[in-house]
Structure formats: C-alpha cells, structure tokens
Structure 1
C-alpha cells in the first residue's frame, strides 16, 4: 500500500493549514463559507470523483490549526451520502457552496456507540424518536436520520431541521465544537426524503461510520502534530539551570517517545484513508478500528506529555496546549472510545471469523 501523498494532495493540505488559522477565528457561517471558497466542502460530492483521501487530508489540516468545525461528521460522514442521489442534487450543490450543512443523526440515548436504530421509529411516513450527540446539529440545515420502520428494517432519511415536529437542543462540546440533541415528534417524512431502506441503508450507515472513523483519526493526527511543534519550541526556549530544558536527556527521550506515538498514529490514519478506497468488509473494519485505537492512545500520551513538559504554563486556559488536548479527547469519544474500538478489533480478529470480505 502506497502511503505517500501526491503533489496535489500536499498542496491541498498546506493550503488549508496556511489559511485555517484565520478561518478558525470566524463565526460559524463565515467559516463554512470560507471553506466552501477553498473547495473543501465540494470534495467527494461527485460520485465519479470520491476523493476520499483528499477529504481525510482536509480533516487532518483542520485538526492541526484547531478549526472548530464538525467537518468530519457533517461532510465526510453525512454529506457524502448524498453523492449519486439525483433527487438530492440540489441539496448536494448547496452543501458544496457552503449554504447547507447535513448532520448525521445516528446515535440514540442509552445505546452508546451502537449505530443500529432502536428507539427512533418511522411508521406510516411519520418519524418519532430522539437522537443524541449529533455533531454539527447546532448549525445544521438538514439531518441524515436513521430509524427503524414497521417491518423492523433500517431506514435512512434526509430532512430539513426546520421541518415541523423537529426540536433541536444545542450543546457545546468540551473543545468548543457544536452539536445538538434532536427530538422527532410525529414528523411527516415524504417519500422523496427516504434515502435508503433495508440492507442498502445498513451499508450506507456502515460507510458513513467508516468515513467518520478515518476522518477522526486524521483530525487527531493534526492536533498531535500541533502539540509536537509547540512542545519542541518550548523545549528549545525554556531555560533552567543555565540551559534549555530540551538539553536534558530525560526530556529528549520522552519527546522521542512522543514522536514515535505520533508517527504510529499518522501511519494508521493514512492506512485508514487508503482502506476506505481499496478495502471492504472485515478488512476495512480492522484497519479503521486499529487507526481509531492508535489515535486515542497516541493522542492521550502526546497531550499529557505536552502539558507536563510545559509545566504550569501548560495548565493555563490561555495556552493552546490544553485546547488541543480537549480536541483529542472529544475525537476519542466520538463514534467509539478506545475500549469500543479495542473490542471491535478483538471481535474482528477472533478465530474462525472470515479474514476478508471475499471469503
């Protein structure tokens, strides 16, 4: 598997990093518009050009400069499900232009990371239930909702959040990114609002989660890189006992361990992006679970070490190290924490389980 970036991908990454710092300072509507001007909200909406790797690279760049956008959830996750759907072409165009945001409403209260809908029901064209942890739901114009129909099948529907019967309760996550809890009270769902049913809906839901997994791993790698950079600079400039603290061998060894943790997470994040394009079934799931697990473990180690090496300064709210650690913590809890992905990996490698989708 080729883990190197093309020249075009490198230019895309560098451009988003270079401009992302200014974009991060804008309000939500202005941020989304600037991202649209860069073209990143249009990536992957053409079914003939999925550009999965490019979308994941954008996620890494946004994590590196801490742009408070839920791009991974709303674009990599939900919006890409619109690709190739003729009746949703107008919505896909609005997303590409930064005029619409589709949030994935796929988790339910009390069901942790289980994506199979259980409490949200779609019977006779009417939707009832509740979705929790809808990242991007605070500013979304539309929601991609999973539900169970009267026959017990999984259904995916796309609805404007302004539809009568939908109530939104916004929240702000630990790192400043927004989300919402959505409640559906006898919401009328037109036939053209149904995206998929049955096995097709389950496959789309699995693909959505896979894209989010790869995106979160990449976003975390970007945040880790920022922590590495600021820690390296601090070790060079902070002086103690007449010399930079980076001259002390113990700190040098610990920084090398941080570098190793970052490289492990980065390699797995790239592998996860490639897996979205080239693998399927259990093979893809194993790579994604490993990438999420490595991102969680590396992120915790790098974040804690960075703050400890900064001393009291690292504990202040004003210094950015803590903000990057918060982003890593939110990423690590979204769509499955480390324990969840470890359990996934154990199940996927259990004796007797098919080793590939082709078997």
Structure 2
C-alpha cells in the first residue's frame, strides 16, 4: 500500500512505524475514539500519557529542552503511522505546534517548565491563536503593574477542556506576544462544540484575565518566522496523518472487496471495482509523493520553495484522504454507513483534518498568492 518513502539508513523510520504498530495493539484506535466520543471527552489522558512514554510528544523539541531533537521527517513518519492506526489524539496541535512555539520562545523558567510538562505528558499545552476562518484571533494584552491583562476571543482551540495551560498569541500595542495562561485563570472561559469525528473544538474568551509578567514567553512575533514555522510544521504533520488514514482506508477496502461476494464471486474481480481501486491507489501515492517533496524542499530549499511545497502537500493529502474514504464507504456497501464499521471513522477523521489549518481551496489560493509574490 502507498506510504511515505524516505531513505532510512539507521532504521529510525522503521522503528517509529513499529512502535506505533505495537501501541495500536494496546490502544485500538477505533475503539478508543468511540469511547472518548461516548464519554464526551476531548482527550484520553491514558493514551496521551502512553504517547509521552513512547517519546512521541517531545520528538521535535531540541535536546536542551529535554526533547529528542529529531526533525520533520521523523515526525511525518510517526504521524502517518498514527493516521493509519486511527490514533486521534491531537498530536499535531498539542505537540508539534505548541512545541515549535516553545522551542522558539525566550529561555526562562516558565518555558522550561512547559517543555518538561509537554514532553512528560503531565501538562496539556493548547495553542490559542485562531478565528473561525483561520485568521489571527483578536486577543489584546494590556500592560499593567503586575504583568498584562488579556481581553478578546479565540476559536478552533483543541483539547480546551483538558488543557492545563494555554499558549496565547496576543497583540500588545504594535507587536505580537506569546503568553502562558494557566487553565482556570480568572477571566478565562471555555465553550466547546463537537466536531464531525467525535473530537471537540472550543472558543476561549478572555475578559480581563490577569497574567504575571514571567508568563510572557516571547515578544516581537509580528515580524518573526516562529509562527510561520509552527504553522508549516503542523500542516505537514497533518498532511502525513491524512496520508496514513487514506492509505489504511484503501487497504481495508481492498481486503473487503476480496471477501464481499456478488453473483458468485468476489467483487474485487469486477473490472469496474478494480478501476476504482486503482484510482484510489493513485491519489494515495501522489499524496505521499507530495509529502516527500515537501520534506526534501525543507531540507534543500528552505524559504519560498519549501513553503509552496508544504501548501501543496497538505492540499493534495486532504483531497486524497477525503476522496479515498468516501469511495471506501461506497465500496463497503450499506455497512459502510454504520457507526460500527471503522471505515466511516476514517472518513470523518479525514474530513476534520482536511479542514484544519486550511482546506485545499484555501491552501491553493495561498499557494498562488505566494508563488506570484516578489
């Protein structure tokens, strides 16, 4: 089946894939997703702690912060494997996005505390920065004697109910600042809503929320590449997870069509079915190739070429995963529409990830604008 293919001289990528396969034996992805959805939780802390024990949460954090110091290639392989296993805890946002911000923040006790907690799984650190259309949230930080006071609203916040700390990107006069805000702070409120795949997104509101000066982690982020780096790394992580989900949905469908009998023989023997499976295989292969291309551009041509490649990879992987999973449901027949059939969970997961940090139409518009920019 299609997969992200990279040179693996020391066996690191194979080890990561094997570790996810072993993990999935302990925590069945589909079963865990249904259980979390039924309980109305936005995060399974047992699974999150196990992911921390596996060393996945600090995979890309630098070694001086206690992380593994690995790169996006390793993260992409890990996320692809998690997508295949339907392990749906929001690693991309809570580990990759938050970890990238912490790695680029100013050294200090609060930064070290958050990094240590993120890596160990003892702290769920959720980023707060978006509006419903994916733009920057209007959260203002007003300086006072004790530190700053936050006011404003942000949307699309993941694991908000489980979060121990919020990493807030706020505007202070003419600069953007990164601030650590403990959950449960005065003047902070959370309003959740369910998503299509059983996860939740939340609106976080700050109404005169006081924050101590030592919780300001970075300043001057308006002209800084840190936020762009976090978005880019997270988009590629999401693309890899989408590629894994699409590939697994294709594999499950191929297996099912070999078993489902119509007119006295497996439907996989029908030419029309074979053509559809080949189409699904083709888009899955192209999405994996786009991710490999983005990883190569990031290594060899950082800057505009890499940014274009990441936008293309996320757009292609999103389109591919949604297309594959929808066709997979159709080929599973009536049972594909039931909640008991795992293939529907893959489709819902693909739809959710496809919309995260830009759907394909939005990403292609960004691609064209960036390509035409001087």
Mark yes or no: TM-score above 0.5.
Answer: yes
- Alignment match, 2:52: 36
Whether 2:172 is the aligned partner of 1:149: answer yes
**Does the C-alpha gap of structure 1 residues 68 and 90 become closer, same or farther in structure 2, counting only changes over 3 Å?**
same
Mapping of residues 28-107 of structure 1, within 5 Å:
28-46=44-62, 49-83=69-103, 85-87=107-109, 88-107=111-130
> Distance in 2 between the 1:51 and 1:129 partners?
34
Q: Distance in 2 between matches of 1:229 and 1:70?
A: 24
Q: CA–CA distance in 1 between the matches of 2:223 and 2:115?
A: 19
**DSSP-derived class of the 2:171 partner:** strand
* CA distance 1:279–1:142, change in 2 (3 Å): farther
**Deviation of 1:278 (Å):** 4.6
List per-residue Cα deviations over 1:230-287 (Å, max 9, x = no partner): 1010111111111110001111111111111001111112333444455433222101
1:130 aligns with 2:156: no
Cα-Cα RMSD: 2.0
Residues 61, 222 of structure 1: 8 Å contact kept: yes
Q: How does 1:276-287 map to 2 (within 5 A)?
A: 276-287=298-309
Where 1:120 maps in the other structure, the secondary structure is strand
Asked if 2 retains the 8 angstrom alpha-carbon contact of 1:21 and 1:65, the reply is no
Number of the residue aligned with 1:207: 229
Say yes or no: does 1:121 pair with 2:140. Answer: yes
Please give the per-residue CA displacement for 1:46-91, whole angstroms capped at 9, x wherever unaligned: 2562432222222212211111200011101112322263431122
Higher alpha-carbon deviation: 329-338 or 268-277: 268-277
* Contact 2:128 2:157 survives alignment (8 Å): yes
The 2-side partners of 1:300 and 1:224 are apart by 8
Matching residue of 1:357: none
Which ranges of structure 1 fall in alignment gaps of 5 or more residues?
355-359
Secondary structure at 1:144's aligned position in 2? strand
**CA displacement 1:278-305 (0-9 Å, x = unmatched):** 5433222101110111012211221121
Moved more, 91-100 or 157-166: 157-166
Aligned pair count?
Answer: 346
**Displacement of 1:196:** 2.0
Contact 1:17–1:64 (Cα < 8 Å) also in 2 = no
Matched-pair contact (CA < 8 Å) for 1:73–1:136: no
Deviations 1:284-339 (A, max 9, x none): 21011101110122112211211111111111111011110000000111111111
Counterpart-to-counterpart distance in 2, 1:192 and 1:268: 42
Query: Per the alignment, do residues 173 and 156 of structure 1 end up closer, same or farther by CA in structure 2, a change over 3 Å counting?
Result: same
* Contact 1:103 1:136 (8 Å CA) reproduced: yes
Indicate which of 19, 22, 25 corresponds to 1:18: 22
Q: Secondary structure of 2:312's match?
A: helix
Further displaced range: 30-39 or 197-206: 197-206
- 1:167 is displaced (CA, Å) by 1.0
CA contact (8 A) 2:186 2:209 kept: yes
Distance 1:22 1:331 in 2: 24
In the alignment, structure 2 segments of 5+ residues that lack a partner are 37-43
Is 194-203 or 8-17 further displaced after alignment? 194-203
C-alpha distance 86-17 of structure 1, shift in aligned 2 (>3 A): farther
User: What is the alpha-carbon distance in structure 1 between the residues aligned to residue 154 and residue 130 of structure 2?
Assistant: 6
User: In 2, Cα distance between the equivalents of 1:141 and 1:4?
Assistant: 38
Check whether the contact 1:52–1:273 (CA below 8 A) recurs between aligned residues.
yes
State the secondary structure of the residue aligned to 1:41.
coil
